[in-house]
Amino acid sequence: MMLQLDPRLIEDLVGKDLIAFGTGGLGKIMIPYLAQEPDIKLHGVTNSRVTAVDAGTFLNTGLPIRSLDTWSKLLPDATVLLCVISDNEPAAYDACQKAGFHKILFYPMDLLDMLQVIYNPYRIPTASSALCAMCQANELRDIHQAAFAEFKGCHRGRTVAVVATGPSLNHYTQGKGVPHIGVNSSYLKEGLQLDYYFVRHYWLEWCERLKEYSFIKFFARNEWMEQNHEADRFPEYLIEENQGRRFFTGEPSRDIHADITYYPLMGYYSIIFQALHFALYTRPKRLLLVGCDCSMNGHYDGAEQNSFADNHLISIWIKGYKALKLFSEQHYPDMEIISVNPVGLKGLFHDMYTESYLDAHPELDRETCEIFEPKAFENQ
């Protein structure tokens, strides 16, 4: 019986001539599923150790295993899909480039996460795992009602800003009376005063300073994330000393729900989406996206991004913002989303620019750019 998942999980792979790179544990989960998908054109498999023109077939898929050089001669315009763990991605990427391939994709993270949940040949479902899932559902309901119920509609009719950490944040001035929801290192931005704060990774240099601040703090929990990165689980003492609130993220699901007291916050592999989902729950009239650059241009404090990981994720983030837009238009058509100093999100929402940002980017045509004036949104 063919396994069928949400077609959105493979939409980036449809229509491409694919060669899968990677025969380890990750490839053993991903490749058999792709091989049985009628909309996927997967021609075969390779890895950096294969040197033969024909090294047999991969598992029970019937897909031929051949060297990179062989595939580059047979299908020079094919797209190589990297099915390797993140630590091996740079070496795999370089090997594909040296073989002459110019189209190289990283595996869809949300597809892998879903397959690990429901189709992992090394994990056998048991009665105890089903019981655990039911307990987690009850835990989620109790935790989310305690964390979020009091904020339902609390900013109805007002402007709310959600602040990420892109460099465009350096050109933003906070307006008075506008609730601000920040993520990650945004709370360290000089002159920025947050009302709420969301974090999903346990980075000591950020988290140890949180107790110095009085904003309301939300700490993420994701079972799939913590299985692969146990260090991401926040220690109890940290949450207690910050009077923090817990919440669950939705990966690998792409669903967005209006009532966040019963469901996980939207996923898409970035804390900004959980902050945005919470913002929707407060029912603002306007939602400002600040520092949401959605690009590979680093962070406001000069810190660099993980070039492989974040470049892998940008396409997922763009889909997340598009899903947020569609959800908002369907459920909150009276709400306006304004992208302040847009970079990767340009054209998706209502674009506005600060004078400071335009001064720093003379390539932009001022005549066609709408100016963002913080005072126009104060106390509204």
Domain boundary among 66, 96, 118: 118
Question: Residue 297's domain is classified under what CATH number?
Answer: 3.90.1480
In a domain, 270, yes or no: yes
In a domain, 138, yes or no: no
In a domain, 124, yes or no: no
In a domain, 178, yes or no: yes
In a domain, 12, yes or no: yes
- Give yes or no: residues 243 and 359 share one domain: yes
pLDDT digits (tens, 9 = 90+) for 170-186: 999 999 999 999 999 99
Answer whether 248's CB lies under 8 Å from 264's CB: yes
The pLDDT, as a whole number, for residue 31 is: 93
Mean pLDDT computed over every residue of the chain:
88
- Give yes or no: residues 90 and 34 share one domain: yes
Q: How far is CA 259 from CA 220, 265, 273, 287, 333, in A?
A: 17, 9, 15, 18, 17
In a domain, 325, yes or no: yes
- Give yes or no: residues 255 and 333 share one domain: yes
Average pLDDT over residues 62-83: 95
DSSP string for 60-115: TS--BB--HHHHHHH-TTPEEEE-S-GGGHHHHHHHHHHTT--EEEE--HHHHHHH
Q: Which domain does 88 fall in, by range?
A: 7-118
- Give yes or no: residues 214 and 341 share one domain: yes
Question: DSSP state, 266?
Answer: P
Which residue, 292, 315, 258, 263, is CA-closest to 184? 292
Answer whether 32's CB lies under 8 Å from 61's CB: yes
CA atoms of 101 and 172, how far apart (whole Å): 41
The pLDDT, as a whole number, for residue 122 is: 44
- Give yes or no: residues 158 and 105 share one domain: no
Does the pLDDT of residue 331 top 60, yes or no? yes
Question: DSSP state, 248?
Answer: E
- Give yes or no: residues 309 and 190 share one domain: yes
CA atoms of 141 and 264, how far apart (whole Å): 9
pLDDT digits (tens, 9 = 90+) for 51-66: 988 889 999 899 999 9
Q: What dihedral do alpha carbons 210, 342, 254, 39 form, nearest 10°?
A: -140
Average pLDDT over residues 298-312: 77
The pLDDT, as a whole number, for residue 216 is: 98
CA atoms of 202 and 222, how far apart (whole Å): 12
Does the pLDDT of residue 124 top 50, yes or no? no
pLDDT grade, residue 311 (50/70/90)?
Answer: low
H/E segment holding residue 370: none
Which residue, 168, 160, 183, is CA-closest to 354? 168
The pLDDT, as a whole number, for residue 334 is: 95
Between 227 and 286, name the one with better pLDDT: 286
Domain boundary among 66, 95, 118: 118
CA atoms of 358 and 362, how far apart (whole Å): 6
pTM of structure: 0.77
In a domain, 347, yes or no: yes
Total structural domains within the chain: 2
Answer whether 26's CB lies under 8 Å from 87's CB: no
Average pLDDT over residues 70-78: 95
Q: Which amino acid would we find at residue 93?
A: Y
- Give yes or no: residues 246 and 344 share one domain: yes
H/E segment holding residue 217: strand 216-221
Question: Residue 109's domain is classified under what CATH number?
Answer: 3.40.50.720
Does the pLDDT of residue 189 top 80, yes or no? yes
In a domain, 211, yes or no: yes
CA atoms of 316 and 250, how far apart (whole Å): 14
Does the pLDDT of residue 48 top 60, yes or no? yes
Determine the angle formed by the axes of helices 109-118 and 307-331, rounding to 10 degrees: 80
- For the record, the structure tokens of 191 come out as 């002159």
- Give yes or no: residues 272 and 368 share one domain: yes
pLDDT grade, residue 227 (50/70/90)?
Answer: low
- Give strand pairing partners of 159: 286
The pLDDT, as a whole number, for residue 2 is: 61
- Give yes or no: residues 107 and 203 share one domain: no
- Give yes or no: residues 105 and 205 share one domain: no
- For the record, the structure tokens of 172 come out as 């933003």
Q: Tell me the three state secondary structure of residue 18.
A: strand
Domain boundary among 95, 118, 141: 118
Q: Tell me the three state secondary structure of residue 38.
A: coil
Does the pLDDT of residue 201 top 90, yes or no? no
CA atoms of 299 and 234, how far apart (whole Å): 23
Question: Phi and psi (nearest 5°) for 232?
Answer: -80, -10
- Give yes or no: residues 171 and 80 share one domain: no
Residue the block writes with tokens 């630590």:
87
Strand order in the sheet with 17-21: 41-46, 17-21, 79-82, 103-106
- Residue 364, sorted as left (phi over 0), alpha (psi -120 to 50) or beta, turns out to be beta
Between 100 and 2, name the one with better pLDDT: 100
Determine the angle formed by the axes of helices 307-331 and 271-281, rounding to 10 degrees: 20
- Give yes or no: residues 174 and 222 share one domain: yes
CA atoms of 232 and 274, how far apart (whole Å): 16
Does the pLDDT of residue 119 top 90, yes or no? no
Q: Tell me the three state secondary structure of residue 141.
A: helix
Q: Choose the weakest-confidence range: 293-297, 309-313, 349-353.
A: 309-313
